[in-house]
């Protein structure tokens, strides 16, 4: 047995060569340059000036950075937790219920529709959501007025108390399609006979969902949670077009903050510091996550 698996595992290393080289050049080297730049004061052109840990010290005391970090946690809720849960439920409904009652075409149609927000360019989505969330005559406030909920109308993006929730709402809208597509594909793997047997044994839909379905598509759930979390920690485009981080620091996120330093303030050194710190956090998160995931797989005999 041991001999068999050993021969199974030999000879795969060469397949990694193109990937590793490419990654070294395109990602790792720039990352090292980035780390190097974080110890300097530099405008991007010309020679950088070494200043040691000064940028990092500044970062620790930077109110804006910590505000942006807190907002990042809100982003994780909006981009990981909520879409994953909605994605799971929606995919089960579409895959099981709708497909059985109305046919595969109908469930495909809904899936395509829910995925569409992911295709719209972020800049345009920002402009359109700006129109919808406009105070006064924006579509959302008009809608509320027309059903008599006038008092709920707000200055969604311009008021510090509603700006972050509004951005979170837009992010949920944007993100739902991604887990949906992945989960619906993963559900193919669930043996329908397994579910029927459970139904015969008296399991409710919820019980089947929780004890069978979710367990079987666990690899995909891991992938979705990790990738959406990484995406949430890096989110930039939507913030840029919706609020540019304002009002004040209500919707500022680290990625936008580092962008401001890189490209608007010509503070490449400090921008690199922020980017390095965020990347290290993401790397640590990834390490923990993948370790947990692989231990799960080992436990299940894979």
List Cα–Cα distances, 148 to 47, 76, 137, 141, 144, in angstroms: 62, 33, 15, 10, 6
58/61 Cα distance (integer angstroms): 5
For the CA atoms of the chain, what is the radius of gyration?
A: 24
Q: Which helix (H) or strand (E) holds 222?
A: helix 218-234
Question: What b/e string do you get for 106-134 counting C-beta neighbours within 10 Å, with b at 16 or more?
Answer: ebeebbeebeebeeeebeebbeebbebbb
- Closest distance to other proteins from the beta carbon of 55 (Å): 13
- Closest distance to other proteins from the beta carbon of 195 (Å): 16
- Closest distance to other proteins from the beta carbon of 142 (Å): 7
- Closest distance to other proteins from the beta carbon of 251 (Å): 10
For residue 78 the two structure tokens come to 């909006």
- Closest distance to other proteins from the beta carbon of 158 (Å): 3
Instruction: Closer to other proteins by CB, 31 or 56: give it.
Output: 31
Closest to 163 in 3D by CA, of 63, 65, 71: 71
Q: Which residue has the tokens 């950088």?
A: 48
């Amino acid at each position: 047995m041991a001999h068999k698996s050993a021969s199974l595992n030999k000879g795969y290393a060469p397949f990694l060569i193109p990937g590793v080289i490419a990654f070294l050049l395109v990602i790792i080297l720039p990352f090292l340059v980035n780390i190097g730049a974080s110890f300097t004061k530099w405008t991007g052109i010309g020679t950088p000036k070494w200043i040691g840990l000064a940028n990092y010290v500044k970062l620790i005391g930077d109110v804006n950075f910590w505000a942006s970090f807190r907002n990042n946690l809100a982003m994780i809720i909006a981009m990981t937790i909520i879409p994953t849960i909605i994605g799971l439920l929606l995919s089960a409904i579409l895959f099981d219920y709708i497909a059985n009652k109305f046919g595969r075409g109908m469930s495909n149609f809904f899936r395509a529709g829910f995925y569409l927000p992911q295709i719209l360019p972020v800049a345009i989505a920002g402009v359109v959501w700006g129109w919808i969330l406009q105070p006064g005559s924006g579509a959302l406030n008009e809608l509320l007025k027309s059903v008599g909920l006038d008092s709920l109308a707000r200055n969604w993006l311009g008021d510090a108390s509603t700006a972050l929730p509004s951005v979170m709402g837009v992010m949920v809208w944007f993100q739902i399609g991604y887990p949906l597509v992945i989960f619906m594909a993963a559900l193919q793997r669930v043996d329908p006979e397994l579910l029927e047997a459970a139904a015969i044994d008296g399991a409710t839909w919820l019980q089947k969902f929780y004890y069978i379905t979710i367990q079987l598509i666990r690899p995909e759930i891991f992938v979705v949670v990790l990738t959406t979390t990484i995406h949430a920690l890096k989110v930039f485009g939507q913030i840029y077009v919706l609020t540019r981080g304002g009002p004040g620091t209500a919707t500022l996120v680290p990625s936008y903050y580092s962008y401001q330093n890189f490209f608007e303030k010509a503070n490449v050194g400090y921008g690199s510091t922020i980017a390095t710190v965020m990347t290290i956090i993401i790397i640590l998160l990834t390490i923990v996550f993948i370790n947990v995931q692989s231990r799960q797989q080992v436990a299940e005999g894979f």
